[in-house]
Chains A and B, each alone.
Chain A
Amino acid sequence: MKKQIAWILIGGLLLGALGGCQKKTEGDIRETTVQELPQGLPESDAKGRYGETAVELPQGTENQRVCWFGMGEGGRLEMYTREGDYYSESAADAFRYVYQDGAWEKDENWAGNAAFKEHGIDPMFVTYGSDGRYYLGGTDKDYRYHMFRLEEDGTATEQLKGAFDPEEGRDYGMLPPKFEVLEDGRFLIYDYWQVFLYDTAGNRLLSMAKDFSGTTSDARGFSEGNEMVTVLDGQVVRYDLQSGKVTEAISLDEVGGVRSSAELFGDGAGGIYMATEIGLSHINKGGTLWETLIDGSLNHMGMRSLQMISFLEGDNQDYYGVFCNDGGIGIQMFHYEYDPEMAAVPPSGITVYSLNDNSTVRQAASQFQSEHPEVRVEVRIGVEDGGNVTEEMIQALNTELLSGKGADILILDGLPARSYIEKGALMDISNLVEELEESGQMYSQLLEGFREEEGSLYQVPARFSFPLLIGEEKAVEAYSSLASMAGYQGEKPLLPAANYENLLRETANLQYKELFYEGNRLVDREQLIQYLETVKTLGDQNGAKTTFSEEEMERLWTSNNVVKSGIIESAIQYDDGRFDSGVAEMSGFGSLCIPAEVRRLHPGTLMVPAGDLYLPSTVAAINRSTANEEMAKEFLRCLLSYEVQKEELYDGLPVNRKAMEANVENDRNGFSMGSGIGDYHIFAEFPSREVRQEVAAMIETLAVPIVVDETVMKMIVDGSRDYCDGKESVEQAADKILRTMTIYLSE
Chain B
Amino acid sequence: MKKRLERWRKALVPWLFLTPSLAGVAVFMGFPFLDVVKRSFMDTMGNGFAGFQNYQAVLDNLAFRLAAGNTLGFLVVCIPTLMVISLGLALLISGSAQKHQNSAVIKNSRTMLVLPLAIPTASMVLVWKIILCRDGVLNQVLTWMTGKLWEVDWAFSRHAFPVLVITYLWKHTGYDMILWLAGLQGIPGELYEAAKMDGAGSAARFWYITVPGLRGTLGMVGILSVVNSFRVYREAYLLAGTYPDSSIYLIPHLFAHWFLSLDIQKMTAAAVMMTAVFVTPAVLGWRIILRRLADDGKDEILFP
B-binding residues in A (CB < 8 A): 1-2, 5, 9, 13-14, 16-18, 20-21, 23, 391, 394-395, 398, 401-402, 404, 416, 419-420, 423-425, 624-625, 711, 715, 718, 722, 727, 739-740, 742-744, 746-747
Contact = CB atoms under 8 A, between A and B. Distances in A.
Contact of A424 (B8, B22, B44, B257): B44
A327 B46 CA distance: 51
A424 B47 contact: yes
Given A16-B31, A423-B45, A424-B44, A5 B22 contact: no
B262 A419 contact: yes
B34 A419 contact: no
A423 B11 CA distance: 50
Given A2-B11, A5-B15, A416 B261 contact: yes
Contacts of A722: 153
Interface stretch (B84-92, B179-187, B243-251, B296-304): B243-251
A391 B254 contact: no
Contacts of A5: 11-12, 15
Interface in B14-54: 15, 22, 26, 30-31, 34-35, 38, 43-47
Contacts of B66: 743
A402 B63 contact: no
B264 interface: yes
Given A16-B26, A423-B45, A746 B38 contact: no
Contacts of B242: 391
B86 to A, nearest CB: 33
B7 A1 contact: yes
Interface of B is mostly: helix
11 contacts: A17-B26, A18-B34, A20-B31, A20-B35, A398-B264, A420-B262, A423-B264, A743-B246, A744-B257, A747-B61, A747-B261
Given A423-B263, A746-B62, 12 more contacts: A1-B11, A13-B31, A21-B35, A21-B38, A391-B242, A398-B260, A739-B245, A743-B62, A743-B63, A743-B249, A747-B61, A747-B257
Given A9-B15, A746-B63, A747-B257, A402 B8 contact: no
Contacts of B259: 395, 398
Interface residues on B, range: 35 or more
A28 B253 CA distance: 36
Contacts of B246: 739-740, 743
A444 B149 CA distance: 59
Nearest to A742: B62
Nearest to A398: B262
Contacts of A424: 43-45, 47
B256 interface: yes
A391 B243 CA distance: 13
Contacts of A14: 34
Contact of A17 (B30, B46, B47, B254): B30
A584 B49 CA distance: 50
A423 B44 contact: yes
Given A1-B7, A394-B260, A743-B249, A425 B45 contact: yes
B175 interface: no
B258 interface: yes
A13 B11 contact: no
Nearest to B244: A740
B262 A416 contact: yes
Contact of A747 (B22, B241, B263): B263
A570 B98 CA distance: 76
Given A416-B261, A715-B243, A743-B243, A21 B31 contact: yes
A744 B80 CA distance: 31
B30 A13 contact: yes
B258 A391 contact: no
A483 B22 CA distance: 67
A624 B31 CA distance: 26
A-B CB proximity, top 10 nearest: A746-B62, A423-B44, A419-B261, A21-B35, A17-B34, A747-B63, A740-B243, A746-B63, A423-B262, A17-B31
B236 to A, nearest CB: 14
B151 interface: yes
Best-buried of A395, A425, A740, A743 by chain B (most CB within 10 Å): A743
A17 B242 CA distance: 34
B131 to A, nearest CB: 19
A16 B242 CA distance: 37
B262 A425 contact: yes
A727 B151 CA distance: 9
A17 B46 CA distance: 17
Contacts of A394: 260
A20 to B, nearest CB: 5
A401 to B, nearest CB: 7
A9 B22 CA distance: 10
A564 to B, nearest CB: 20
Nearest to B33: A17
Contacts of B258: 747
A2 B10 CA distance: 10
A742 B61 CA distance: 12
Best-buried of B38, B47, B260 by chain A (most CB within 10 Å): B260
Contacts of A419: 260-263
A747 B60 CA distance: 10
B262 A401 contact: yes
Interface string B146-165: 00000101000000000000
A1 B15 CA distance: 12
A715 B244 CA distance: 10
Contact of B45 (A1, A402, A740): A402
A718 B244 CA distance: 11
Contacts of B256: 391
Contacts of A401: 262
Contact of A624 (B45, B62, B245): B45
A413 B59 CA distance: 32
A403 to B, nearest CB: 9
A625 B26 contact: no
A395 B260 contact: yes
Interface in B252-277: 254, 256-264
Nearest to B249: A743
B119 to A, nearest CB: 24
Given A21-B34, A391-B256, A416-B262, A402 B46 contact: yes
A423 B48 CA distance: 12
A1 B14 CA distance: 13
A698 to B, nearest CB: 35
B82 to A, nearest CB: 27
A722 B7 CA distance: 74
Contacts of A625: 45
Interface string B97-134: 00000000000000000000000000000000000000
